[in-house]
Amino acid sequence: GVWWGAGYTDSSVIDNSRVGYKSCADVNEARYNASPRQDKLNLIPESSVAVRNERYKLVRNVSEDYVDGNFVTLKTEELFEVNQAAPTPLLDKDGKSLLPPANAQIKAVYDDLSQKLDRILASNPECPGDGNMDGVVDSQDLDHWARIARDWGLSSVYDFVTGTATPRDGKTDAADGAVIQSHQGPCQRTYALY
């Protein structure tokens, strides 16, 4: 691939005085606004979660992108028939999604897996500021954040969603420290599903 971030060197990068681009969505914005306009890149999802049963797998993807002049959050779901058959298992491959459902059976499978995935995701609520994931936002998080911000400064487990234009800016900085400061205390409890 081609590096579009700060200090880029590849001649195919749309020049912005080597400042670089903070996100893939920013790259697509630059390509959209280029003269002549360039095709947008197909982005890998920033988040993918999945659940399966014996025969089917549901995948949810979330991406931030720039589409037709606007920053957007793209949420997609795919449902695949899968198995473990050796030596050539049936895998979840692009273009093989069963969505939208073609019949009541596939709709029922989708509904069941979707509800299960919702329950799984709800069992582990977000806890902004808890970079070490110990269930509490505290002085340990502040100490770890301060060391990473000072010694590294780039993307880390302490690069939080701060409400700026992009979900994470690829930097561990003062904005992330503010997230820790404003969320001090225990996280919501997680729970197990059986």
Phi-psi region of 99 (alpha: psi -120 to 50; beta: other; left: phi over 0): beta
pLDDT, average across residues 72-93: 93
Strand locations in 17-139, DSSP E? Answer: 47-52, 56-67, 70-81, 136-137
Query: Is pLDDT of 52 > 70?
Result: yes
Lowest mean pLDDT among 26-30, 44-48, 51-55: 44-48
Residue 115 confidence (pLDDT): 97
**CA pair distance 38, 26, nearest whole angstrom:** 13
What are the tokens at 139? 């002085």
Residue 165 confidence (pLDDT): 46
Query: Is pLDDT of 163 > 80?
Result: no
pLDDT, average across residues 99-116: 97
pLDDT, average across residues 128-150: 96
Confidence band, pLDDT 50/70/90 cuts, at residue 193: confident
pLDDT, average across residues 144-167: 84
Across all residues in the chain, what is the average pLDDT? Answer: 92
What are the tokens at 10? 């590849």
Confidence band, pLDDT 50/70/90 cuts, at residue 6: confident
Query: Is pLDDT of 61 > 50?
Result: yes
Residue 166 confidence (pLDDT): 56
Strand locations in the chain, DSSP E? Answer: 47-52, 56-67, 70-81, 136-137, 185-186
In this prediction the pTM is 0.75
Confidence band, pLDDT 50/70/90 cuts, at residue 33: very high
Residue 167 confidence (pLDDT): 66
